[in-house]
Structure 1
Amino acid sequence: MKPSRGEALFSYVNVLLLSLLSLSTILPFIHIIAKSLSGEAYILAKDIWLWPKGATIDSYQYVLSYKQFYISFYNSVLITVIGTVISMAVTILAAFPLSRKHFPLKRGLMLFFVITMFFSGGLIPTYLVVKQLGLLNTLWSIMLPMALAPFNLILIRNFFFSLPEALEESAVIDGASNLRILTWIYLPLSLPSIATIAMFYAVGYWNSFFQAMMYITNRALMPLQVFLMQLVTNSKPGDMAVGGALNDLTPESTTAAAIVCVVFPILCVYPFIQKYFVKGVMLGAVKG
């Protein structure tokens, strides 16, 4: 069926607006890459836009010459992987009973979780709790306080709620336990939603910065985002693995190279689960 003139006009305008929005997010990153690969003279002359000039990789050699970069990279990977696993386990185990219609405490617990989306205990009480639990200067101080995001819990819970009740009823008749129903029925059917929420958690852990600044003072536990902050502020993040022959580089080029090195690893994960994004979020938001 041929679309009407109004529908065609709406489609064209929609494509144009989305294209402009995409360019507004992509062009700054391309500019950062171009700057990280450009020569010092061109950067000082402010002559870099979207294409590198005087191509060189000295900025990357400088950033990668820090031993602290590899230590921080390892810490960030550890935080992201373990933190995502913990968060997904907690979120799924909380969402499953909250999606059961006959669970008596469902409304009260959901209200409890929703309240935490708008009100928090505050910065100082949170710090005191982390301190009293003995989590200061440990990677657990970043992972455990962020273990459950109420918004992600609501998405998973709504997706579970939208699944047909007949699936659970047939499993109960066959003698399946709640754990077996969750692992054999709900989880396989929820892969799009689970992959999407896992990516949300992973990006949050990878970008965790404020928690590390508050709870960690040991350089051996410094995540990558703190390393980047120290490099941007021109403070020394740690000892260099090689000599200081590259110290005459401009701060702008080294900062750009550091940004690319920090963003690139998590950016590589997106293509593998991109197909789950729209499907996962929409399915989790249809029914509540």
Structure 2
Amino acid sequence: MRTETFETPGPIQLGVEIRSGSVFVTAAEVTQTTVEIEGKHADEVVVEQEEGAVWVETPKARGLGSDREWAIDLRISTPAHGDVTVQSGSAPVAVKGSVQTARVKTGSGDVQLDEVAAEALVDTGSGQIVVGRCAGDTRLRTGSGGVEAAGLRGEAMIATGSGHASVGELTGNLGYKAGSGHLRVGRMHGDLKARTGSGRLDIGRICGGEIDVRTGSGDVTVHVPLGTPVWTDIVSGRPVESSLPSAGEPAPGQDFVKLNARTGSGVVRLRADEMSRTEQIV
């Protein structure tokens, strides 16, 4: 194993470009950046430090052998709150700890991010995307893999070809596009615009905001706290199912929900969520 160490007392810009293998980055409270390299061509990997930056890349010249032959496993430790950029042909990528920005593009590898403060951009051809929390703008795209995010704020966009997506908590605005994937949001306060060919939409709880959904054949289920005013504009080939009592017009400053739904053969359901029932009892 080859090891390179650089003094980096503060957050840096870390750039990685490899053909295949794996990339594991740990962002922690350290004052050095350490790059550990394993693989047949570990000694030929270029590792350079510039002011405020560390770059790691494999040679780009043609005729250097197959991607498998050039598979490189990277383990990198770097100061927290920096910027991480990774580009790879097929490597899985994991970034542990807190970073300012994360930009990852890989042909077929899975991508995992822990905590991103400002911007997260992930593009993978067929890999799974797992994100902890992102407080800024988020763009997540995968061709056939799924997307899982614990918490999203700011402006977010999720796009999948056939994979499903789930968001634990949404505070902000989310755009969602999928060919046939389902979307599940546990709890949200913000706006959602969803477009899917045959996927379902399930909102565990919306406290306030607007949902605009179009689906060819998927069901739409939305849970709303009791007492929250709901305005609806729904077009469906089947009757709407609702267990919500009328809440009337919203009071000044009161949160309300607007649902604009279009589905060809799916069922639109409006439900009072269980948490709100418990709150009413208490």
Same fold, TM-score > 0.5, yes or no: no
Give the TM interval when normalised to the shorter protein.
Answer: under 0.3
More strand by share: 2
Q: Give the TM-score normalised by structure 2.
A: 0.25
